[in-house]
Chains A and B, each alone.
Chain A
Amino acid sequence: MLLPFPYLSTALLLCWLLLNQSLEPAQILLGMLLAVAIPLLTRSLLPLPRARVRRPWLLLRLLAVSMVEIVRSCLSVSRIILFRRSRGIHSQFIRVPLDLRDPYGLALLSCLINCTPGTVWVEILPGTHDLALHIFDLQDEQWWIDTIKSQYERPLIEIFEG
């Protein structure tokens, strides 16, 4: 492998070019220098070995699906805030058994769940592999569990563990 961290380096180079809003050769050169140097300098901060993404296209598809889901949840949370009486909102913690074990997969799952309005990830309950999740307006606990397992967890298992 030519670069020790190809994904991170690409992302850093893109960040640098976006930040400077230019495609001049000098900026590209400087950006490439930073993109190689920063991962090497911060390597000791990484607690885990590098993530291995098996199926990048599936990852992009997952992100697109979650984007749609975020917009939909935004609208439903807005509707609840505007039109529902506070007493009628049924907020509750639920428990979702997870099969995903990869730390990077779990990190991505928590970010996706927390980005979606109406759900907040609390923690993986100590000693188990169960996720404690807080739902803004809980109607059907099994529906949430099924949705999270089929829409988010299965693609993540294929991406990071498959």
Chain B
Amino acid sequence: MNGLETLPAWAAVIVICLLVLGGAIVLIGALGLMRLPTFYQRIHGPAITVTLGAGAILIASMVYFTAAQSRLVVHELLITLFIMMTAPVVSMLIMRVAVYRDLRGRKGGFAGEGDVYRQPTTAQDRPDTK
């Protein structure tokens, strides 16, 4: 990539810090996806990836290209916008599918009489030992 040598030091420091932060957050999110035991906990892992992880990397990209090309490069904001609009909807849909399948199906119909759902204790969803 051209412009790497001419990148000013202050920009390089910001970009490096943001990339390390973003990379670490994405890694932690993936780790959570891997080691959390139940589905309802695993759904929270990717949430940090799409918010702070993607956010830090996108800001790093904006700072890098703005400093390297000496003009304002902010079209990454569009990526942020679309992630912010789609990720919540997707996680809500996945959650609802799981709830409908797991909890309602198992009890033979949820009447909506006012119980918050109970935590699933099915065998395949809970590893007994590590």
Contacts and interface: CB of A to CB of B under 8 A. Distances in A.
Q: Give the bracket for the number of chain B residues in contact with chain A.
A: 35 or more
B70 interface: no
B4 interface: no
A87 B47 CA distance: 20
Contacts of A82: 28, 31
Q: Which of A75, A77, A126 has the most CB of B within 10 A?
A: A77
Interface in A91-136: 91-95, 110-118, 120-123, 125-128, 130, 132, 134, 136
A125 B116 CA distance: 9
A132 B45 contact: no
Contacts of B96: 122-123
Interface string A62-103: 000000001100110110011000100101111100000000
Chain A's interface: helix, strand, loop or mixed, by majority? mixed
B23 interface: no
Contacts of A21: 73, 75
A81 B28 contact: yes
A18 B88 contact: no
A111 B25 contact: no
A162 B129 CA distance: 53
A3 interface: no
A7 B92 CA distance: 26
A135 to B, nearest CB: 9
A52 B113 CA distance: 34
B112 A120 contact: no
A33 interface: no
Nearest to B119: A92
Contacts of B88: 110-115, 121
Interface string B63-100: 00000000001110110010011011101100110010
Interface of A: 15, 18-19, 21, 70-71, 74-75, 77-78, 81-82, 86, 89, 91-95, 110-118, 120-123, 125-128, 130, 132, 134, 136
